[in-house]
Amino acid sequence: METRPDLLPAVAAVRDLFGAAAASCALVADAGDRLTFVAASGAGADRILGVELPVGRGIAGWVAMTDQAIAVRDVASDTRFARDVAEATEYVPRSVLAVPVSSGQGDMLGVLEVLDPATDLGSGWPLAVLGTCASLVGLLLDRSQGTAERLRPAELAAGLADGDFRSTQHAAEVLSAVAEHLRGRRG
């Protein structure tokens, strides 16, 4: 499976939103048996791209297999964590958030992960927010044949209101605006 540079703006915006060390998106192969990391931002990003894992292996593989979101506060104590894969990227996280990415029809498309987010993993909001981001990525994948033109603010607002994200740039701009807003609230 090819890497997806078109997803990089959205993945980078997710990393920024969570103040995380890294974020990545892995997609399920057509046969449904493997995940391939196709977009990544932050620590170890260049080394995780193209890495393939069987569905069920690692935290991302578990999420793809079960279609369930997970927050792991201490990966060292979690048996699902694929330490060898992390070590190969030269970045071993302490905590991970991971959620399924699904199509509009509910088909499993992949997994969106955030490594070492600067958020409290004790509450449910980080997974809820990441789940919303994963929904946007799912829409992007559903509409990957769409145009990549830059949209005006009115079109951004309309897309956010009705879930109509016509390009990866469009959704990345929305995610970036959310991240900027949250930074302003934290600062």
Three-state secondary-structure class, residue 17: helix
**Nearest to residue 85, comparing CAs of 115, 128, 126?**
115
For residue 37, give its domain range. Answer: 5-145
Give domain status of residue 160, yes or no.
no
Integer Cα distance of 76 and 15 in angstroms: 22
Domain total of the chain: 1
Give domain status of residue 110, yes or no.
yes
Q: What is the CATH number of the domain that holds 111?
A: 3.30.450.40
Give domain status of residue 182, yes or no.
no
Give domain status of residue 107, yes or no.
yes
Give the list of residues 6+ apart from residue 88 with CB closer than 8 angstroms, or none.
47, 51
pLDDT (tens, 9 = 90+) of the chain, 187 residues, equals 789 988 999 999 999 999 999 999 999 998 889 999 999 999 999 999 999 999 999 999 999 999 999 999 999 999 999 999 999 999 999 999 999 999 878 889 999 999 999 988 877 889 999 998 998 888 888 776 332 333 334 444 444 444 444 455 556 666 666 555 555 544 4
Give domain status of residue 12, yes or no.
yes
If one counts every other C-beta atom within 10 angstroms of the C-beta of residue 16, the result is: 19
Q: Tokens 């996280």 identify what position?
A: 93
14, HSE (Cβ side, Cα atoms, 13 Å):
35
What's the predicted TM-score (pTM) here? 0.80
Give domain status of residue 179, yes or no.
no
Give domain status of residue 76, yes or no.
yes
Virtual CA dihedral for 88, 91, 95, 99, nearest 10 degrees? -60
Give domain status of residue 184, yes or no.
no
